[in-house]
Structure 1
Amino acid sequence: MILTDAPAEIDKQYVKHLVSTKMEQDSLSPVVFVENKLGLAYWCLSQLYAHSLLKYNQIKSLVGTRDKSVIEEIKRITRIMLLVNSDNYTIWGVRKKCIETLLELGENSLNILQEEIRLLNLINSKHPKSGESWEHRGWLLGKLFPTISEPDYIIDFCVEETRITERTCVLYSRCYYAWKHCIVLMQHVKSVNNKQLTRSWIQKELLRLEKWTRKNVSDHSSFHYLRYILEADLKDICDAEEAGHKLIRLTRQFHYCQFLILFFPGHESLWLYRRMLWGLLMDLSENVMLNGSSLSGVEEQVERSQQEFKLYEEEYQYKIPTLKNELVYAEQCANDSHMADFHKQRSYALAYQLYILESASKNMSLQSETNSLQQVLLTRDLTSGQSNVDLIQHKATHVLHLLKGNEQSAQVALWNQKIQLKI
């Protein structure tokens, strides 16, 4: 077992116990400690855990005591147990009690909590997908941040935490708990009483996630986190001008998603991400009144995207994300048999069409403003001579028929239940 970033003060009594045990068998030490990397031979793990458990059973009746020396001994014993088995929920609870007691005794909260986080960094190097350790990490942040008054320190700390989570995800891909921890960090950043720092952090996270998702297109958890970042970015709209800027940034995400879908076809995570973007677009545009600059900035973003996310297929061009354009784009993907994983791509594209049709039907039924940006996005370029209701119903029926022909019976049954075109 290899543990990286191990602290120099590794408990010597346990190392001595292991060395003496092994020396009885041969002259090879089971412990290697080089450049803050601790290596333990696998044969010794069971003995190490058994020895620590014995010590813990001798002292566990004292859990909850206010004697500092006893608390430190409990922490030292449980530290070894968690290095071997990080999913021991009971032991994590014991450490929580010890930390809370030390805080009540007036110990330096910052030092105590940072020491515990260093231990978690060590544990995560071996057990990155331990849900209990990530939960404990979030609990620590809830204790730590209320004691900090400087917004800059909180932001810097969260930046360091995101670096740790990204390193974990690089070594062990699709680590759900690491991305969930990022959501916890974002919630703490949003609570900082400094909008400029918060917005700067959100923008940096968006750029970081774009680089990550481009290399990990099947990582559903990272796209789920990206959703929360975008929602945080789009909240608290003060005026029409700010709403216009956020609409431009959201349009850029549509184009980025289109770029990924065309270069990495057949990945459901990308189509689910596009559904989320459509939902955010409807929420953002619902209360924005149409003015001369509402769509002009979006049209400029279309031109910028042509350079930033270059496409070589002439039939796939970036456009304003209206209902009509989204339906056309999904239909192109569903009919492009030259794409890799065509059958998957077709299924996901048809399901996306049904999703935005259902969304459009609900939003049209709730519209009260005739000149809202949402209405423009839903009705722009639709065929004249037929009501929007009839157009949506006709298109939904057609897509359901295609899904049946594509042998997606379960999906068809699901959407037959979900889509209710009552306007």
Structure 2
Amino acid sequence: MTSKVATQQQANSLLPMVIIGVLFFIFGFVTWLNGSLIPFLKIICDLNEFQALFVTFAFYIAYTVMALPMSGILRRTGYKNGMAVGLAIMAVGAILFIPAAKTGHYFIFLTALFVLGTGLTILQTASNPYLVHIGPKETAAVRISIMGIVNKCAGVIVPILFTALILSGMGEFSEEYMASLDAQTRADQIEALSNRLITPYIYMAIVLAGLIALVKYSSLPEIEFEESDNDVEDKSGILQYPQAILGALALFAYVGIEVIAADTIGLFGSGIGVEHFASLTSYTMVCMVIGYILGIIAIPKYASQEKALVVSSIAGILCVIGATTASTQSSAIADVLWGWSGIPVIPDAVTFVALMGLAHAMVWPSIWPLALEGLGKYTAQGSALLIMGIAGGALLPLLFGFVAEGGSTQFAYWVGLPCYLFILYYAVKGHKMRSW
């Protein structure tokens, strides 16, 4: 009888998993495009490292600014219609890249990124609770890990595609070369380079419009959340749940170091002379996919969600130490790990940055079910709070850029150490707290 119920649950969750899987691929495609955009905009908008990292700030700060308004929209529209609204907002953001590319104004690029982030905010706020509640809570991390693989596969594809379609011939657009040109020639070169963005973002807007129809007219079920026994009379709302508040802070730390590992690896590689620097984000994403696969195999059969979080945080700490102290000349580690495969090797310090993807792959899928457990009617509010934690992707890379400008890019990876330490605290104690 139990087996029959489990089979029925799997069948009922298959369609939502497929549709949300498509959405997670789009999340990844849009999100991990930033890693390739940063060195691109650094050239066409003539930016230093700190200024270039406002790409991540504009994109991720939308999660903080818009999370609570978007949760209000979800309460009025329901989760399914809310996803369609989010896709429509993203389509507007994609279209805004056309005037941004035409004018070359950095502010318009940042505005377009903020609008894209706003659309993703409502999609993330709606889709993650779906994954937690459409099946047994013990395997929620596995479902989120599957979506993580889809998301990060997009992250692997995007830098390669961006490099092939937009960055081909970028070697001739070095900072030294651009500085040697007269003003008119330089302006013409930048305009030609900027215009390469227009067609891809037109296609993105078209795909997003098609996905609106897919979500709107699909048989994706609406989910209802039961009220918990202790939250009906309490007026303090989500603030009464330490596991959610601390979970949001843990996600702040995680997303910050995740974005740093994925979006600065290209800058790091460029600064030390790695030829294929524009595609280095793919290395971090491949490591994250491997981490998700290991999580799917291990959870809950060999390790609980809590233990996975402990292992992830400790591994992340070791990677930070490696990234900040390893050689930028030797590629001994990469030679051993994949040098035999024909994939281009990278210096040891850069390899440790990529391996952060493997280390922290299970942090996001482990935190969500732990933080949402027992929230009852506050699930949407708790989900919005966790989404606000994504602001770590806006603020911590700016801190990284500030430290890098004052010292070196390699030294700036020490910013990740307190991030992993807080995640370790949440894994050991924070998620267990049920009162302040």
Q: TM-score, normalised by structure 2?
A: 0.25
Tell me which protein shows more helix as a share of its residues. 2
Q: Which has the higher contact order (CA 8 A, sep 6+)?
A: 2
Higher-Rg member (1/2): 1
